Structure 1
Amino acid sequence: MSDDLFRYVLRLADDHLILGQRLGEWCGKAPSLEEDLALANIGLDCLGQARALFTYAGKVEGKGRDEDDLAFLRPEREYCNALLVEQPNRDFAWAIARQFYFSAFMLPFWRAMGKSTDDDLRAIAAKAEKEVAYHLRHSAEWVIRLGDGTEESRRRMIAALEELFIYTGELFEMDDVALAMVSEGVAVDASELRDEWRRTVDGVLSEAHLTAPEAAYDQTGGREGRHTEHLGHLLSELQYMQRAYPGLEW
């Protein structure tokens, strides 16, 4: 069980680390000062969740690796984040659509994780659920604002929602690791969250007078370390200090 638990927790940690890094790229570049602060705070929430998860993963692994080792000192193929969170910041609408899809999944996920038999995951979920409720509300408001705004904002919102939709199916995949954890009462059966996620997405898009996308296929592979070309570039920045100055302490 410990190996499966380690891998399961590591996936969650990687999701939030990589998304937090993407959000951090907006510092000083967001459309307004208020939004600059909002995206930074959401990114910090993601990093806080990642830290708690990495710390617990290191404890489960039992090999002496801490949160910094797991976050900064692994090669690209060892990262098991969903492909959605590594997608780049093409524009503001793209960042909002990515956050909206992910938060609409994570809110019911953390709520369900509150019933886990694992004390550590249950405690992480209790804090994360409150944070993600804000993340979803914030991103949903922007989807509506952009989708029902100017011709240009609507065009960009539609493009982002449609192009990112192929990465959402991976969030609901259940492999042997996840199934083993569900059987132990530890994990969440993500496949059971799809209907609620779809209702949330459809409801917000309807309010924005947008049509919900449909994907001809799901782009997957992130959980097995098969990533898009974007992750390597992200990691080169994320890991630079630790690799340039090994063992550096602030």
Structure 2
Amino acid sequence: MGADLDGDDTLEERAAPETDAVTFEWDGVRSGFLTCLPVALGVGGYGIAFGVLANQAGLSVAEAALMSGVVLAGASQIVAIELWADPIPVATIVATVFAINLRYSLMGAALQPWFERLSGTKVYGSLFFMADENWALTMRDLKAGNGRGAFLLGSGIAIWVFWVGSTILGVVAGGVVGDPTQYGADFILVAVFVALAAELWEGKPSLVPWVVAFGTAVVTSQYLPGRWYILLGGLVAAAVEVIRYDR
């Protein structure tokens, strides 16, 4: 067992049964970081693409790196840059980014059964580094019963390092590197998500929410602009599951 990161275990952490124990140790950070490295490489491809777009929009290296370091949300950052103009349409950008990132509320809620045993400092510090990719990896790790609450933090740090670093590379050398999608880098994350989805599959119980989420997302994407279909797919599937379990 590794040492606790900050020594402030809550009563819930100490009282949790051994089978449900959730720890927050350096081993979890290390495991999350190493596990996420291959995925982070794929994220770097998108980071270069964002850096190229940021450079074309007139952002400096420092400005683009600051956005990536603070926001850490590839889809919303790229959309924000695509909406960039003079003067900057602040209200439009904020509303669009808000819609895209609402899905994180659902992702965070999925972690609640494990993270409720951790202190607020550990939870919110980890959630800052949460992205789609390391969330899926963390869910897989927690469902496997490893109880490594720091896995999200470690995997998120890996993504953060590659995302910020590739953003800088895209701004500085985007003209030389070119569009990373021409090398097939955009397919890396698709392949990762397919593999993770297969591991998160729990048999027939997963069929109904997955089909509902997929169907809702496909239909709403035809009628609503932006990325609202992502959030609506998750909300409808969650509502269906609540109704099923209440019966």
- TM-score w.r.t. structure 2 length? 0.31
- Which structure has the bigger radius of gyration? 2
- TM-score w.r.t. structure 1 length? 0.31
